[in-house]
Structure 1
Amino acid sequence: MLKSQKGSTLIAVMLVFLVLTTLLLVLLAANIGGAKRTEMRETDITENLDALAAIKEGVAVTQAFITNNSPTLLTSNTTYDSKLKLFMDEENAKNSGYKLKDVTIDHTTLTDGFTRVLNVTSPPYSQLVYVTATPSFLKYALGSRSNLTMNGSPSIQGDIYSRFSLNISNEALYLNNSVLQSKSTYLPVSKHSPEVTSELFIEEGDLQLCTSGNCYSKTANAFEKTAAWRTLSREKLPIDIHTAFSDKYAPRYAQLDAPFADIDIPGTFLEKVRDVGIMLKDFPTAFYDTEEKRNAAKVAHIRDELAKEAPTYTDSKKLENPPASPYILYRGDPNINVSSLTVPEGKWLIIDGDANFEDNGQKALDIKGNILITGNLKLTGNLSFDSVIYVLGQTTIKNADIHCYQNSCTTETIDEDIWKNPAFILMTQGNLDINLVNKFNESTSGINGYLYTASVADVYGVGSLLNVTGGLFSKDNLTINSFRGNAADGTPELKFTEKADIEFSRFKIVNNKRLFFEQEDALPKVKQLSAVPDRLEKDN
């Protein structure tokens, strides 16, 4: 006998309906939650972009104020501080999305001078801006007031500057057994953090680029450019700059925000000698048709004037414990390989002759204090510095490892503790020659400091490995040659193993805008202030 199924069918239908309704509600809830999360993410992104834009605006406004008011601010510290405070108060009252604060006291023990540290904040971001009357070259990882050439694949972290032509090729040049050679490799790398992109400045010229690997032809004892080079005009660089660097590691092309503040080494040398009480006569006012002849006359004048002064020492061994007099005048060509050399704070060691600093083979030679050298300088071996050094002749750095004074750097990276680290700043009137640094050795030599030359400089990271933490700058032409990979001795050419990883660059430079901080009094005085932004920071 058949039974009716009407009741059970209704229950089944209702059960299916309930399941479908539940699933629909779950999907609806998920969509609503997803929409809310998407909205929150979009809000976070928008807020971050707004904060970044505010930081950028705050830094730009600060730089413009400093540039436009530099002559007035430099009249006195009282005027400087009052006008700077008024500027910050007016900006903060505008509620433009950023705040400005003077945090100088948190970062330096200096009480005189014109250096200030301002903090631009727009949560969760902040960025320090150093307002300083120090020379412009301290802003850059790498730069030249003439032509800058980067052959091969140096790794640069920091801003790059060239007044005239910037030449970039993927062919590194080197000298092996007194014979000129070349090796194709990767293009340069511009390393930067996710928040801050390094910038490239070309003031007057264009970018000359060669990516063929056949960029130079050898003639006798020199290399000449081939026809493989092409020109990237400055107008095209905002879009095309990436073609001159490896992969995505390219800087951002930018315009200078202030005139370049250059230095006069002989003039500063004369000023520092006078500051300690040796009253040298003014430079001769005769006419010279070239800057080179004029500078040579200045150097000769300083040497002639110092020759009239009685020396404090003529025995270099006595320099290990110099007296606490306003200055120490050494006459001769000292080979300084004592265990340490300390010049009393605020004083100057003046070497009237050529100087050679070399470790004694047992420990690093630790040098603390500021030094003036009328002749040439040679640095060899394991050295540590907390010094500003002016050299009227040429400087040779040979097989040297130059690190923080007594290994006292708080860290190998540039972080907030860098304020406590000592500085090494070398300025030489003659050529700067860095050579034979750990040749064919896979251990890395380092130079912790700024190197500046008023002449030409050629630096090689092909058969050698070299890291610079600070900066490298030339008033004349500066040429960097670097291979990316491993190198071993060979004849007639070196034996290379190329590596794609950018960390295998054999020449690396990391700019550190903070190293100068405790050395303001010893640096050249310039007639304009600059506002130099540090890296962008994000609160955790």
Structure 2
Amino acid sequence: MKEDKGSSLLLVVFLILLLSLLGVAVLGASLGGAMRTERSEENVQSVHLAQKGLDEAIAAIYDRFNGRLIEPESLGAQLAGFTEAFNAQLADAGKGGSEIDAARPFYQVVSVRCADDGKCLSRGSSGSAAYQYSLVVTAEAEVDGAKRRLQQEVMLDTYPDFLKYAFGSEGVVTIGGAPYFRGSLYAGEALQLSDTAEYVYLGARRTQVSQFPYLDPMLGEDGQPQDDSGWIIAGDGGRLHYGYGISYPDGVDRYMAVYDRSLAAADGVDRDKTHGLGQRIRVEPPQKFVSIDVRSSFLDKVRDSLGDGAGRQDRSVIESVYASGGPTALIGLLESSYPSRYAWLGAQPVLTAEEPPVPDILLGPEPSDPGESPPEPSAPNAGPDPAAYEQARLEYEEAVAVYEQAVADYEEELGEFRAGLASIGASGQAGSAVVTGPLVLDGSVPAIDFASKGKHNWLIVHGDLELRGPAIGATSGDGAAGEEAGPGAGGVGGGEGDADASGPNGSAGSDSSPLRLRGNVLVTGSMTLTGQVDVDATVYVLGRTDIRDGAIRGLQPGGTAPRKELVLIGGGPIDLYRVSSFQPVGAGYGSGTEADGQVLDAFLYTESSAGLYGVGSAFWMRGGFFAKGDLTLNATLGSTAEDEARQRLSFPEQSSLGKEKARFIIDYNSSVFASQEAALPRVNKVRLTTGPLRLLPQGDGANG
């Protein structure tokens, strides 16, 4: 027992020590947790304050550039100038800070710089994004010693949004049947999808059950789908409907809301039937859409046609004169106030003289020799009176000489006229030209081909422009285009009476070479295009546009450069149709001669509503089609034939055909921004998009 003496005391001391250690540990953990919590709160607060700095800088950028007419090609230089002035202001306010930097906690904008430290072009972008401009904004904040620095990329551009979509409208988009799109679609007010195409044949409304539309993204240079492509952008998520049936009623009660039914579900039969479209819809406020006004854009380009010296005052005068007197007053202003800026080509020469007919007296036998005794008048085969015959011969030869001189004068005038069209933009001459319409391109005037195609080089056609290229495929006498006048076709589509007995050649004669249109053109009247035309052009048309049996093929610059295209911006409706329908689709889009024969390298924009048909006709486009008003499209798959006995069209089994057999295909062409940059319309609204936030490690510089 003596050995156990004091053990209780040691045990108590040990327990006291152990409990003390546990208490210290708990206290340390509590204090550490509190400190970590406080530090974490400080870090979160500093991040939020830094983000507030980013938001203020982005708001300053938007306020500086929005609501101003900015030339797209000059936006990069303006942004570079803005960043230089902005950063200088930051430095003046306190060595990179701002006036509020003295307070703690504090935040500040560190810098706003071009993403490429040069022209502010967007980094690593392709397609339309390659012509955006990019700024990198850096901001930092500090709360009780916790400092955080954030960085964000801001992309800006001033191009109208319609050029960024394969198909769309600021109004209601209605698609019946199975067209195929590569690129993105836009539906500003509403989107209505059906698996059934409507058409009119022999005056009767018909329908054909097909499939739902196909939509694929564009592929990047690496062959991978682009993240910003292959989407349906909708302005109103509550007005997206789809369904099965012959037509949409006045309401959409027979159809299903995309976000309420199985189209948007993770599984279900409709996802396959609709080709997964429900998973490719993104809603954006329509206020973000950068729109254009055709008349305003037209007058902008008139100002550009004046040359480098034109400014805002000239633009105001042009606007005022056009508002009071229309195109005629505008041309009068240009002629009176800016005569040296233009080559005044006048009207296209026309041969008004007619070849004289051979008189009847010269068609008969010649008179007998005057030295011989004249035959009796009643004798058989008696010749004409020698004096009368000689007089008729002299008069005919004089008439022929007059006609040949008229032809020679016409050919000389025509040569000068063609030379004038080819000299637009040439060094030492007026940069633009004015022609009194109608201007007709055919066999006699086969080309508008500018010497230089720049921002200040324009051809103004005061009147109508007609392009009558050589025919493609079938002639216009088949009379089988009745289906193209679909229900409510106010903008695009033909009717049964549209066949032109003269054919699309017009006066092109036997020349089978395509017409050539290379330049920037302003048309105060209407425009007609038929047959084969090779293009590299931007055309603004105040009136309506009629594209009948057209093959619009982009000019090839050479090498691996992409083909050019036609950008046509119309203030009136665009009628797009085939006089002779039922073109075969062959192996499908991109395969065989059928593909090349009916492809249109074009972006078409109408300020009106439009109705498109790919039921009897086949339209394959590299470019896009956009309408400011409502846009309706009906399309089927495979080759189409007439069934006169049943008074309808016959179609192959639709469910067994793939998207490459679609009769209406639009393959978006992103190279339009590069090839037509100088002539594209300006807008007074900057589209601003922001990239993800990036938290910079401590010690990173202002550029990140």
TM bracket (short chain): 0.5 to 0.7
Shift of 1:226: 8.2
**In the alignment, which residue of structure 1 is the partner of 2:369?**
none
What does residue 458 of structure 2 align with? 348
1:436–1:319 Cα change, 3 Å: farther
Give the alignment partner of residue 680 of structure 2, picking from 518, 523, 533: 523
Partner of 1:365: 515
Partner SS state of residue 313, structure 1: strand
Alpha carbons of 1:172 and 1:225: their partners in 2 closer, same or farther (altered >3 Å)? farther
Deviation at 1:65, TM superposition (A): 8.8
Superposition map of 1:307-322 within 5 A: 307=332, 311-315=344-348, 317=414, 319-321=417-419, 322=421
- Cα distance, 1:235–1:140 mapped onto 2, change above 3 Å: farther
Quick check: 1:253 aligned with 2:410? no
> In structure 1, what is the equivalent of residue 205 of structure 2?
180
Query: Residues of 1 paired with 2:580 and 2:183: CA distance?
Result: 25
Kept in 2: contact 1:67–1:529 (CA 8 A): no
3-state SS in 2 of match to 1:450 = strand
Alignment CA distance shift 1:191-1:84 (3 Å):
farther
CA distance in 2, matches of 1:237, 1:528: 35
Task: Output one character per residue of 1:175-223: Cα deviation in whole Å (capped at 9) or x when no partner.
Answer: 3234332211101111235634511111136445443233258xxxxxx
Distance 1:164 1:271 in 2: 28
Q: Deviations over 1:457-495 (max 9, x none)?
A: 111111111111111110011111110122112322111
1:463 equivalenced with 2:493 (yes/no): no
Q: 1:67 to 1:389 in 2, by over 3 A?
A: farther
Shift in alpha-carbon separation, 1:387–1:141, aligned structure 2, 3 A: same
Could you list the runs of 5+ residues in structure 2 that have no partner in the other structure? 1-53, 88-95, 97-113, 124-129, 137-152, 336-343, 350-413, 425-429, 470-507, 585-593, 691-704
How far residue 511 of structure 1 moved from its aligned partner, in angstroms, is: 1.5
Contact 2:258 2:278 in 1 (8 A): no
Secondary structure of 2:672's counterpart equals coil
Output the amino acid matched with 1:254: R
- 2-side partners of 1:517 and 1:532: how far apart? 21
Match of 2:446 among 339, 355, 360: 339
- Deviation of residue 264 (structure 1)? 1.2
Deviation at 1:119, TM superposition (A): 12
Aligned to 2:61: 69
**What amino acid is aligned across from residue 354 of structure 1 in structure 2?**
D
Q: Distance in 2 between matches of 1:235 and 1:225?
A: 17
Q: Give the 3 Å change call, closer, same or farther, for CA 119–402 of structure 1 in structure 2.
A: farther
Per-residue deviation at 1:167?
A: 1.2
- Whether contact under 8 Å (1:206, 1:234) holds in the other structure is no
The partner residue of 1:474 within 627, 649, 654 is 627
Distance 1:365 1:396 in 2: 17
Identity of aligned residues (%): 24
Alpha-carbon distance in structure 1 between the residues aligned to 2:278 and 2:239: 14
Aligned equivalent of 1:328: 433
How far, CA to CA, are the matches of 1:244 and 1:129 in structure 2?
Answer: 37
Question: TM-score w.r.t. structure 2 length?
Answer: 0.53
Query: Partner amino acid for 2:231?
Result: E
- Higher mean C-alpha deviation, range 71-80 or range 372-381: 71-80
Q: Counting strand residues as a fraction of each chain, which structure ranks higher?
A: 1
Match in the other structure for 2:573: 431
Work out whether residues 164 and 206 of structure 1, in 8 Å CA contact, stay in contact via their aligned partners in 2: no
Match of 2:658 in 1: 501
Q: How many residues align?
A: 424
SS at match of 1:304: helix
Q: Distance in 2 between matches of 1:216 and 1:72?
A: 46
SS at match of 1:72: helix
Q: Secondary structure at the match of 1:516?
A: helix
Give the Cα–Cα distance (whole angstroms) in 2 for the partners of residues 103 and 469 of structure 1. Answer: 33
Q: CA deviation at 1:130?
A: 8.1
1:372-451 alignment, distance < 5 Å: 372-405=522-555, 407-408=556-557, 417-418=561-562, 421-436=563-578, 439-442=581-584, 443-444=594-595, 445-451=598-604
For residues 370-429 of structure 1, the C-alpha deviation after alignment (integer angstroms, 9 at most, x for no partner) is 000011111111111111100000111110011112x44767xxxxx44xx423211000
Q: How big is each residue's C-alpha offset from its partner over 1:487-523, in whole Å with a ceiling of 9 and x where there is no partner?
A: 1123221111134312111111112233122322211
* Unpaired stretches in structure 1, ≥5 consecutive residues: 1-61, 91-98, 108-113, 121-127, 218-223, 286-296, 412-416, 534-540
Secondary structure of the 1:486 match is coil
C-alpha deviation, 1:348, in angstroms: 0.7
Matched residues in 1 for 2:636 and 2:324: separation?
38
Other-structure match for 2:390: none
**Which residue of 153, 174, 178 corresponds with 2:178?**
153
The corresponding residue for 1:81 is: 80
Q: Sort the Cα spacing of 1:256 and 1:235 in 2 relative to 1 into closer, same or farther, 3 A.
A: farther
SS at match of 2:329: helix
CA deviations 1:338-392 (Å, max 9, x no partner) are 3321134231111111111121351111111000001111111111111110000
Aligned partners of 1:65, 1:238: CA distance in 2, in Å?
38
Secondary structure of 2:547's counterpart equals strand
SS at match of 2:244: coil
SS at match of 2:326: helix
Query: 1:335 deviation in Å?
Result: 2.0
CA gap 1:270/1:402 in 2 versus in 1, 3 angstroms: same
CA RMSD, Structure 1 to Structure 2 (Å): 4.1
1:203-260 residue CA offsets vs partner (Å, 9 max, x unmatched): 136445443233258xxxxxx6786333335999864897596334666222338811
Distance 2:417 2:261 in 1: 55
* Structure 2 letter corresponding to 1:312: L
Q: Is the 8 A contact 1:332 1:352 kept in 2?
A: yes
1:269 maps to what in 2?
298
What TM-score, normalized by structure 1, do the two folds share?
0.68
What code does the residue aligned with 2:292 have? I
C-alpha distance in 2 between matches for 1:175 and 1:345: 43
Indicate the larger mover: 386-395 or 515-524. Answer: 515-524
Partner in structure 2 of residue 292 of structure 1: none
Q: Is the 8 A contact 2:258 2:264 kept in 1?
A: no
The residue identity in structure 1 corresponding to 2:448 is: L
Larger of the two Rg values belongs to structure = 2
Q: 2:255 aligns with which of 226, 229, 233?
A: 229
Whole-angstrom CA distance in 2 between matches of 1:480 and 1:77 = 38
